Amino acid sequence: MTELEILNLVHQTFHGEAWLNYAMKYFSALAAGGTISIVLCVVLLIFKKTRRCGVALAFALIVDVVVVNLILKNAVGRERPWTHEELSWAEDFYKQYGIDVSLDYCFPSGHTAVTFCAAAVLVIFYRAKAIPAVILAFIIGLSRIYLCEHYPTDVAAGLVIGTLCGIAGYYIYKCTAVYDRVAGWLTSKRYVAEARLFRLRRPNKRTQKFLELFI
C-alpha cells in the first residue's frame, strides 16, 4: 500500500466524524509555528526551578529550526500530499472545516519535529513526569497524517529528527554551561535588583522568596 493510498484510507474511514475532524484540526494548530513548544520554553525560563530545562529547550528549538526548516525541507523539496490528484477531495475537506493548509515543503514534518524536540528535553529532565508531553507529541504527529498535510514518512522522520534535536540541544546546554554563567551573574545582581524594585536595603522574607522564584 502506497502512502497516498493510506491517506485515502484515512479519509474514507475517519473523515465522516465531524468531532474527530475538529479535534485533529485543533491538535495540529497547537504546534503551528512551534507555538506550544515556544510557549513552554518561555514558561520554563521564567521560573528558577525549571530554568535549566528552559535553556536546554531553547537550544534544542534553535537546532530544530535550522535542521528541519532551513536545511532538510528545502534540500528534499517534497510537495504536500494534497497537491496530488489522488487526493482531489482534500480541498473541499479543508474548506468545510476551515483548515489552513501549509504551503511549504513537507519532509520532515515540522509540527511533529518541534513537539518531539520539546518532549525529548522534558523526558531528559523529568523522566516519567514528561509522559503526557510525549503522548501529546504523538497525537500532533498523527493529526498531520489525519489532515493529509503529511505523508506517514514525513511524520516518522519528524519524530526521529525532532528527538535528536532535543538531545542535541541538551548537550549544547551541558557543554556551554551557559546557565551557570548567567545564573552566577544574576545572583550577584540580586540585591541590586531588590533595592531598585522595592527600594529596600534589607528586603523582608516574603520579598526574598518571591524574587528567588525568578532570580
Pick the CATH number of 3-176 from 3.40.50.10490, 1.10.606.20, 3.40.50.970, 3.50.50.60: 1.10.606.20
Report d(CA 182, CA 32) in Å as an integer.
31
pLDDT at position 186 is 53
Spans of all domains in the chain: 3-176, 178-215
Q: Is 111 in contact with 31 (CB distance < 8 Å)?
A: yes
Sites in the chain below the pLDDT cut of 70: 178-215
Report d(CA 147, CA 122) in Å as an integer.
27
Report d(CA 114, CA 64) in Å as an integer.
7
pLDDT at position 188 is 54
pLDDT at position 75 is 94
Q: Is 176 in contact with 66 (CB distance < 8 Å)?
A: no
pLDDT at position 36 is 93
Identify the burial level of 157 via C-beta atoms within 10 angstroms of its C-beta, where 0-12 means exposed, 13-18 middle and 19 or more buried.
buried
pLDDT at position 156 is 96
pLDDT at position 101 is 83
Q: Cis check for the bond before 81: say yes or no (omega within 30 of 0).
A: no
**Helix spans in 65-130 (H):** 73-76, 90-97, 110-126
pLDDT at position 187 is 54
Task: Dump pLDDT digits (tens) for 35-58.
Answer: 999 999 999 998 888 888 999 999
